[in-house]
Structure 1
Amino acid sequence: MEFPVDTVVRDKKILYDGCFKQGYDVVLGWNSVLQFLKHIPNDTATLVITSPPYNIGKPYEHRVEFKDYLEWQRKVLKRCIDILSPKGSLCWEVGNYIENGEVFPLDVYFYNIIKKEFGLHLRNRIVWHFGHGLHASKRFSGRYETILWFTKKDDYIFNLDAVRVPQKYPGKRSYKGPNKGKPSSHPLGKNPADMWRIILRDWEKELWDIPNVKSNHPEKTIHPSQFPIELVERLVLALTNEGDVVFDPFVGVGSSIIAAILHNRKGVGVDKERQYTDIAFERITKALKGTLRKRPLGKPVWRPKGTEKVARTPPEWNARARTHTKISEWVKD
């Protein structure tokens, strides 16, 4: 496709270029992140949100020494914090770095950088749970990543009512005290942080169950580690107001910008891979025209009922299970 592009779609001004310019609803950059960040004025973005490369050898990343990776991320973070407004939030979504079979939880390293070196305030360590991924053979399969939500100051934007979800027991009433007999739930719904599966009590309020983008997901593109739009939407609604700027320093195929423009925010993002930014431009255009396929915000995760063919136990497994049972009984005897 042509590059650069300066156009208007449904009254929204879009710039697809190598550097940032003000006066647009969407600025999509094809450039290195540090070069692009040089052109963004301080205090521009209300929300900086991304999932950075994990340095694990994905097709779009060049693997380097872990200490060099962290130093590069430190430089990116410093500039991202500079462009963050005083009431703004930084959301850094990460998984694990794995080397020689050993797991290094990236959120621990990023906490030390963002909190201890740059002085931001951690508001939540959100656990994003998903059901699909690679199956490990020498450890438990990883099925979660974490979102570190930091704020620049103690006075920050947080719109809880914008992201409440339906109550599990809306008819529940207080059984004692001054509110006895009155509904005990919030009329607009509960805090979405109450979604959990099997997790320790201390973490229950910070686990979100949202499908990751795999082969049958309606948003799937060629990107191997694609952000679900729904994940970003919840953070955009909670941590920004209409008209605010949302910035993604590793925008990939544009999910963060799409989440922003769908809710009347401005979206800015950059990526060094031209094949991804071209796709991002197409997806952003479709989102503005209302033709982009996406998973609806708040849609429940599909659970098999047990009657589907894929949910039934294969007959060969039953035979194996019977053999295993006989061996187990023999060992016990």
Structure 2
Amino acid sequence: MDILDFKYECTDALEFSKRLPDNTIKLIITSPPYNIGKAYEDKVGIDEYLENMKPMLSEFVRILSEDGSICWQTGNYVSDGEVYPLDIYFYPIFKKLGLHLRNRIIWHFGHGLHCTKRFSGRYETILWFTKSDNYTFNLDDVRIPSKYPGKRYYKGEKKGQVSGNPKGKNPEDVWELTVERLYDDWESLIWDIPNVKANHPEKVDHPCQFPIELVERCVLALTNVGDIVYDPFAGVGSALLGALKNGRRAYGTELVQKYVDIGLERIKQLKEDTLKTRPIYKKIYKPKPTDKIAQIPKEWTEGDKTLCK
């Protein structure tokens, strides 16, 4: 496929941002380091971590266009068993920089780490900020089918007229991201984007990989064709791919050369139409009662019968 220009460098996000003119970037979308001791992180205290991020955030706001947006996806920082919700810590920093919070989007996924001393986490948050009140929002590009398309106004001047939008409904702010059984099961009309694990078609050698379809929702809604999308912590380039796939320009920075190399190879595959991606509306597989993995293992039934109750 034909793709627009992109920049993808193994460099520091702060230094790269300083080279960009004011009001240049339409969308900054990223999943920043969580300060959880991954191989590519230096784990520090929560206060020091946030202080280290502030100079970058200031630069990001400077290069953001007046009608642009920042989508800041975060999880939790855990220290000595205590959870620190990073979106709550980042919110006042962005507010002091003059940004406006439009949505706190909840991304739910079905698989992750299994905890033993607290409930297993199955969601992360995306803080969607805009630089001004005059921002791009292409709702029609991300609508999903209405649950009750035949619903009509029952009183007032519009009595008897169809109340919904023929293009579908607003996908709301809880994303489970694939529209399952898209046209035959209205109870399942939720967005369901699985996180990238071992059996995901996009999986490469990165411990916290962004699913491309999560990026695409934001790219389609918050930018127009030809706009620049920037991921300052680009990893293996999923945000760049989500932008380039939809006719946008893409910038990315990443400190680990191995990840940049993987990302560049994925961009090459996109251009050659050989990149494996998960389609936006693909149904998530749910095991049937007859499937082996859905049945109680015999090891559980040979011992204490109460384990099966």
TM-score (norm 2): 0.90
Which of 137, 161, 165 aligns to 2:140? It is 161
1:130 and 1:211 in contact (8 A); partners too: yes
Measured against aligned partners, the alpha-carbon deviations of 1:209-249 in whole angstroms (never above 9, x if no partner) come to 31000000000001100000000000000000111000000
Return closer, same or farther for 1:148/1:44 CA change in 2, 3 Å cut-off.
Answer: same
Aligned-residue sequence identity (percent) comes to 57
The 2-side partners of 1:71 and 1:237 are apart by: 32
Deviation at 1:321, TM superposition (A): 7.0
Return closer, same or farther for 1:196/1:146 CA change in 2, 3 Å cut-off.
Answer: closer
Amino acid corresponding to residue 94 of structure 2 in structure 1: I
Q: How does 1:33-44 map to 2 (within 5 A)?
A: 33-44=13-24
Unmatched 5+ stretches in structure 2:
177-189
Return closer, same or farther for 1:319/1:182 CA change in 2, 3 Å cut-off.
Answer: farther
The 2-side partners of 1:145 and 1:56 are apart by: 15
- Determine helix, strand or coil for the equivalent of 1:268: strand
Deviation at 1:196, TM superposition (A): 6.4
Deviation at 1:325, TM superposition (A): 8.7
The 1-side partners of 2:306 and 2:61 are apart by: 60
The 2-side partners of 1:179 and 1:316 are apart by: 63
The 2-side partners of 1:255 and 1:269 are apart by: 10
Measured against aligned partners, the alpha-carbon deviations of 1:164-217 in whole angstroms (never above 9, x if no partner) come to 1122232333444444444332111111126567xxxxxxxxx95310000000
Partner of 2:183: none
Which of 106, 111, 114 aligns to 2:91? It is 111
Deviation at 1:283, TM superposition (A): 0.6
- Determine helix, strand or coil for the equivalent of 1:310: helix
Partner of 1:286: 269
1:188 correspondence with 2:171: no
The 1-side partners of 2:308 and 2:2 are apart by: 67
2:3 and 2:244 in contact (8 A); partners too: no
2:8 and 2:253 in contact (8 A); partners too: yes
* Structure with more contact order per residue of length (Cα contacts < 8 Å, sep ≥ 6): 2
The 1-side partners of 2:134 and 2:241 are apart by: 27
Deviation at 1:61, TM superposition (A): 1.0
Partner of 1:128: 107
Return closer, same or farther for 1:322/1:184 CA change in 2, 3 Å cut-off.
Answer: farther
Return closer, same or farther for 1:195/1:112 CA change in 2, 3 Å cut-off.
Answer: closer
Return closer, same or farther for 1:195/1:97 CA change in 2, 3 Å cut-off.
Answer: closer
Once structures 1 and 2 are overlaid, which stretch shifts more, 248-257 or 283-292? 283-292
Deviation at 1:81, TM superposition (A): 0.7
Amino acid corresponding to residue 115 of structure 2 in structure 1: A
Once structures 1 and 2 are overlaid, which stretch shifts more, 299-308 or 284-293? 299-308
1:165 and 1:298 in contact (8 A); partners too: no
- Determine helix, strand or coil for the equivalent of 2:172: helix
Return closer, same or farther for 1:159/1:309 CA change in 2, 3 Å cut-off.
Answer: same
1:315 correspondence with 2:295: no
Amino acid corresponding to residue 288 of structure 2 in structure 1: K
The 1-side partners of 2:282 and 2:2 are apart by: 29
Deviation at 1:310, TM superposition (A): 1.0
Deviation at 1:69, TM superposition (A): 1.1
Larger gyration radius, structure 1 or structure 2? 1
Partner of 2:283: 300
Which of 32, 43, 68 aligns to 2:48? It is 68
- Determine helix, strand or coil for the equivalent of 1:193: coil
1:48 and 1:84 in contact (8 A); partners too: yes
Amino acid corresponding to residue 100 of structure 2 in structure 1: H
Q: How does 1:115-264 map to 2 (within 5 A)?
A: 115=95, 117-193=96-172, 209-264=192-247
Deviation at 1:73, TM superposition (A): 1.1
Deviation at 1:11, TM superposition (A): 5.4
1:195 and 1:209 in contact (8 A); partners too: no
> How large is the RMSD of aligned CA atoms in angstroms?
2.0
Return closer, same or farther for 1:11/1:308 CA change in 2, 3 Å cut-off.
Answer: closer
Return closer, same or farther for 1:78/1:320 CA change in 2, 3 Å cut-off.
Answer: farther
The 1-side partners of 2:202 and 2:307 are apart by: 42
- Determine helix, strand or coil for the equivalent of 1:283: helix
The 2-side partners of 1:218 and 1:325 are apart by: 34
Return closer, same or farther for 1:324/1:237 CA change in 2, 3 Å cut-off.
Answer: closer
Measured against aligned partners, the alpha-carbon deviations of 1:13-68 in whole angstroms (never above 9, x if no partner) come to 6xxxxxxxxxxx10111111112112111111000010000010111111122222
Unmatched 5+ stretches in structure 1:
1-9, 14-24, 198-206, 327-333
Partner of 1:30: 10
1:28 and 1:268 in contact (8 A); partners too: yes
Once structures 1 and 2 are overlaid, which stretch shifts more, 282-291 or 258-267? 282-291
The 2-side partners of 1:213 and 1:324 are apart by: 31
